[in-house]
Structure 1
Amino acid sequence: MSYENLSGRTAVVTGAASGIGEAVALHLAAEGARVALLARRADRLRALAEKIRAEGGQALAVTADVTDDASVEAARDQVRAEFGAVDLVVNNAGVMLPNPVDEGRLDEWRRMLDTNVTGVLRIIRAFTGDLVAAAAEGRTADLVNVSSVGAHVTFPHYAVYGATKAAVTYLSQSLRGELGPRDVRVTNIEPGLTETELRTHVADAELSGQLDGLFEAIGGLSAAEVADVVAYAASRPRHVNLRQIVVLPTRQA
């Protein structure tokens, strides 16, 4: 489906090397946006950028780690040098490492917090000035945060992951109070079961089997289907903010 109000925009998509991020980048580029692809895996980014260019789009591969301050700042500088200021930011990078809390896996907790929460904040810090400036010029400006239905639906052994996503959902809600009066839209998207690489992050065999069983029983969304929701939200008239979207497979309660 084609959407208006995306052509000619300049977007940043984090976690663009695979899954929802990759699908969002492809969708936005197909709609005529210039897309800066941010992720750690340089080879995957280069391949995606080449694919977008081969299909007539504009893309910039930017190797970046959202858990590293200097890396995010360098990515911002590279995007500005190549594409100028951005008016659409999709905060999608994330990790999911479920395990019982009483196992006390501090390393996993730190990784999820630093990627899913502080990483989101680093990107916001880097690009909010661009969004505010774009809105002040009368252009559409969007911050889209990809959270999870796990932000408010509990799953056994996903407590810390769910807590990081609850933080993103709350952050999005609060930011609307700060940025909305300046005409910057903030959209929080909470996907349910979705076919992405997050499934491969589940190392525990029992938890992995439970997740596989859910996909077999319910059926997951494709990354492209979630990307379509992102594009739809960002394509609305600039005075319309789809503030909170929960997107689930029909069979997921």
Structure 2
Amino acid sequence: MADSVNQEQSFRIGAESSPTNSVRRVVVTGASSGIGAQTATRLAADGWSVVALARREDRLKAVADAIKADGGACEYKVCDVTDEESTDRVVSEIVAEGPVKALVNCAGAAFGKDPVATARLEDWRGMYELNVLGTLRIIQKLLPTLKQSEGTVLIVSSTAGIEPYEGGSGYCASKFAERVMARVLRLEQVGEPIRIIDVSPGLVQTEEFSLKRFGGDHSKADSVYEGVPDPLHADDIAESIRWALDLPDTVDVDSIVIRPRAEGSYTKLHREG
């Protein structure tokens, strides 16, 4: 018995002193705005070396420059997670440059809010390509190096993947798929040196999410948050991500559901006035 305890203690000491366990390099997708940008900023402030990925180079560079101006470590790479060639190229570069400890999947969007009877196939296709297949693609390509570092795959899904609502069929379906992906991957990787975490935000007010959903219609986008006291902001989600990643490698927070106090569910939202 004593030998077993000593062996276990030796293993833990060895694991804690392993170079791969001290790696603090994280890949953040969708890092040009919203939750992705704030996550990159928050993690860099916490001592992580950030590799920021997104499609829009101008926005991405601005995020990276701001992080570096504040003394953080951040490099950016233009990457479209819906494109196989783009993702292959960028992941090859990332892996060649060193080990990776965490992947935070923030890339995602909602397109339209039409009922099933009249929803546009292009909107559904766009959401599946980005929210589901894009997430799957980057996870598959980085999973081997993450396991070498005893790392973490973190997926930012949505409460839309928990409770459906009228007009949200396409977005809800894509986020259900994303959450199921996280859960199944967790089951499949039990026993492997990897954590799988799902973060499901509720109402979060960002500069682009609702604006993109409603095709640039500012009045519709603003109405989503009208009268809601203290909706969540991107940094609230970034802090929950930072906290989950900062736990010991052996602690897996399977799921975090985070909402503003004013939101009981999608259909139970307190508005003032």
Deviations 1:119-142 (A, max 9, x none): 00011111001111112xxxxx11
Deviations 1:205-243 (A, max 9, x none): 999638725442354201001000000000001111111
Deviations 1:60-102 (A, max 9, x none): 11001011011111111222234x1211000110010122221
**Residue 144 (structure 2) aligns with:** 129
| Structure 1 counterpart SS, 2:243 | helix
Give the greater-gyration-radius structure (CA).
2
Of 150, 161, 170 in structure 1, the residue corresponding to residue 160 of structure 2 is 150
The reply to whether residue 187 of structure 1 matches residue 201 of structure 2 is no
Give the CA deviation at 1:56: 1.3
The reply to whether residue 173 of structure 1 matches residue 188 of structure 2 is no
**What aligned pairs does 1:20-35 form with structure 2 within 5 A after superposition?**
20-35=35-50
CA RMSD of aligned residues (A): 2.0
CA distance in 1, matches of 2:127, 2:224: 24
Of 238, 243, 248 in structure 1, the residue corresponding to residue 254 of structure 2 is 243
Moved over 3 A (4+): 204-211
Of 26, 34, 43 in structure 2, the residue corresponding to residue 11 of structure 1 is 26
CA distance in 2, matches of 1:210, 1:57: 33
| Structure 1 counterpart SS, 2:257 | strand
CA distance in 2, matches of 1:104, 1:163: 13
Give unmatched runs, 5+ long, in structure 2. 1-20, 265-273
Give the CA deviation at 1:178: 1.9
**Residue 90 (structure 1) aligns with:** 104
Give the CA deviation at 1:204: 6.7
Structure having greater relative contact order (Cα 8 Å, sep ≥ 6): 1
**What aligned pairs does 1:87-126 form with structure 2 within 5 A after superposition?**
87-97=101-111, 98-126=113-141
TM-score (norm: length of structure 2): 0.83
| Structure 1 counterpart SS, 2:104 | strand
Deviations 1:36-61 (A, max 9, x none): 10000001111111111111111111
Deviations 1:9-49 (A, max 9, x none): 11000000000000000011111111110000001111111
CA distance in 2, matches of 1:175, 1:158: 25
% same residue: 35
